[in-house]
Amino acid sequence: MFFENIDFSSLELPPAALKLRDEVRAFLRQEIAAGSFVPHLGHAEFDIEFTKKVAARGWIGLTWPKQYGGQERSYLERFVMTEEMLAVAAPCAAHWFGDRQTGPSLLRYGSTFLKDKYLPAITRGEMAFALGMSEPGSGSDLASVRTRAEKVDGGWKVTGQKVWTSWAHKADAFFVLCRTAPLTEDRHAGLSQLVIEIKKSSGVTVRPIRFMNGNHHFNEVFLDNVFVPDSHVVGEVGQGWKQITSELALERSGPERFMTTFPLLVELVRRLGRSNDVRAHEMVGRLTARLWTLRRMSLAIALALDPSSGKQGSVDLATEAALVKDMGTFYEREIIDAARVLVVVEPTMDAADTFERYLAECIVSAPVSTIRGGTTQVLRTLIARRLLGPLK
């Protein structure tokens, strides 16, 4: 039904991943001790200095070929890296999208020119990428994007508007999903992905969209006749839909789908200490169990998608990834609910106490996780399709 041919009983981290984990933990302990970043929950922070330190250790593009600055390590090693960063809410936004999304897309579909130009820059922490997917009229229904590219001599002229573009005001470039051919009956045809350099191109305007607590990470990006050379088309013209949907299994199943409120759980455990409250015992036990389970499912997907597993391509885990994301994003809220029940405070964003601040940050950002990267309802529709097969 789900996870066919996945052997959960033999699932464990290989020695290389354990070794890397020790290194990442030592690095993060050192960074935290030095006070190099203040963790915030809800949205990963953009901190190019931190990204450069991670890059210097070779930890960006960990699984990529060496010729592009990667380490050719396994997906499980990347998994370990990611979860360690999430466990302490390290500020990874400056390399996050490049590492998880644009890099792998370029590796799979990009030309030699694009790979040479961008991948080493991402692994060195010199270029930050953003994602230009959503538009005012296109949220869950991404195939309805209206940003259009018109063919001109040597390239494309792009016009349109993107929204909810995280960190576009700091990123160097972004992937833009746009229509390169008029809409036909096949809505998924005629879409393409282009790389647009935000700072260097003329005609790009970035405006902040403030989050409801006043923070700025979202933007709207206006594209007004932006010239994009032919060399900056990712893969084949017209194949954009296939490209963005082919990477969904990894995008939706990672620990970032269930660990963004995890540091609050750790602070909760600290607050509770050796509490005699039986509710505390029960809730912490249950939260632990649910996280342990999500982690096993997420690990299983990472392992199966790893080229070395021999299973890559033979299993389609997009539905399982949807399951992990659906349950994971609700799990994040369960931590908030338990924290509120067990420790009675009035949370504020500027509390001096870490637990109270984390609680406030989590409460305010809670609505986002079940919307971004596939809404609950879209995911469940996808899951139901697997369960029910084609319906007349």
Among 141, 282, 316, 337, binds other proteins (CB under 8 A): 282
Counting contacts by CB under 8 A, is residue 272 touching other proteins? yes
CB-CB neighbours of 371 under 10 Å: 15
Q: Considering beta carbons, is residue 149 or 297 the nearer one to other proteins?
A: 297
Sign of the torsion formed by the C-alpha atoms of 135, 172, 232 and 121: negative
Among 177, 244, 265, 302, binds other proteins (CB under 8 A): 265
Question: For residue 384, what are the contacts with CB-CB under 8 A and spacing of at least 6?
Answer: none
Counting contacts by CB under 8 A, is residue 332 touching other proteins? no
Window of 5-13, 98-106, 110-118, 366-374 that interacts with other proteins by CB under 8 A: 5-13
DSSP H helical ranges for 256-353: 262-272, 278-305, 318-342
Alpha carbon distance 335, 288 (integer Å): 10
Helix (H) or strand (E) run with residue 27 in it: helix 15-33
Per the rule left: phi > 0, alpha: psi between -120 and 50, beta: everything else, 173 is: beta
Q: Considering beta carbons, is residue 213 or 293 the nearer one to other proteins?
A: 293
Alpha carbon distance 110, 240 (integer Å): 12
For residue 87, give both structure tokens: 């466990």
Q: Considering beta carbons, is residue 158 or 283 the nearer one to other proteins?
A: 283
Q: Considering beta carbons, is residue 5 or 184 the nearer one to other proteins?
A: 5
Among 32, 181, 269, 371, binds other proteins (CB under 8 A): 269
**Shortest Cβ 199–other proteins spacing (Å):** 37
Counting contacts by CB under 8 A, is residue 270 touching other proteins? yes
Residues from 163 through 202 that contact other proteins (CB under 8 A): none
Alpha carbon distance 135, 219 (integer Å): 11
Counting contacts by CB under 8 A, is residue 274 touching other proteins? yes
Count Cα neighbours of 215 within 13 Å in the Cβ-side half-sphere: 18
Which residue, 360, 358, 376, is CA-closest to 368?
Answer: 376
Counting contacts by CB under 8 A, is residue 380 touching other proteins? yes
Counting contacts by CB under 8 A, is residue 32 touching other proteins? no
Counting contacts by CB under 8 A, is residue 10 touching other proteins? yes
**Shortest Cβ 219–other proteins spacing (Å):** 32
Among 119, 189, 297, 302, binds other proteins (CB under 8 A): 297
**Shortest Cβ 42–other proteins spacing (Å):** 19
Q: Considering beta carbons, is residue 202 or 276 the nearer one to other proteins?
A: 276
Residue 21 near residue 80 (C-beta atoms within 8 A): yes
**Shortest Cβ 351–other proteins spacing (Å):** 18
**Shortest Cβ 151–other proteins spacing (Å):** 40
Counting contacts by CB under 8 A, is residue 392 touching other proteins? yes
Window of 136-144, 193-201, 232-240, 376-384 that interacts with other proteins by CB under 8 A: 376-384
Question: For residue 369, what are the contacts with CB-CB under 8 A and spacing of at least 6?
Answer: 257, 260, 329, 332
Counting contacts by CB under 8 A, is residue 315 touching other proteins? no
Counting contacts by CB under 8 A, is residue 89 touching other proteins? no
CB-CB neighbours of 292 under 10 Å: 9
Residue 96 near residue 49 (C-beta atoms within 8 A): no
Counting contacts by CB under 8 A, is residue 107 touching other proteins? no
